[in-house]
């Protein structure tokens, strides 16, 4: 095993997910905005 492959094996790629640090309020606001827009769309189309 070369030094490069040994280092690559120890380093994990960050692919996102719940362990990412960041402003969680932005995720909540975006999610609730999506819910509100979807509810308005369903109501306007008469699907409810």
Residue 43: which of 20, 35, 17 has the closest Cα? Answer: 35
Farthest CA pair distance, the chain: 64
Residue 34 has what pLDDT? 98
- Within 13 Å, how many C-alpha atoms sit on residue 34's CB side? 6
Residue 24 has what pLDDT? 85
Residue 39 has what pLDDT? 96
Residue 37 has what pLDDT? 98
pLDDT tens digits in sequence order for the chain, 48 residues long:
566 665 555 666 667 666 666 678 889 999 999 999 999 999 999 987
Is this prediction's pTM over 0.85? no
């Amino acid at each position: 095993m070369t030094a490069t492959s040994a280092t690559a094996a120890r380093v994990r790629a960050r692919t996102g997910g719940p362990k990412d640090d960041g402003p969680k309020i932005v995720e909540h606001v975006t999610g609730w905005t999506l819910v509100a827009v979807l509810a308005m769309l369903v109501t306007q189309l008469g699907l409810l």
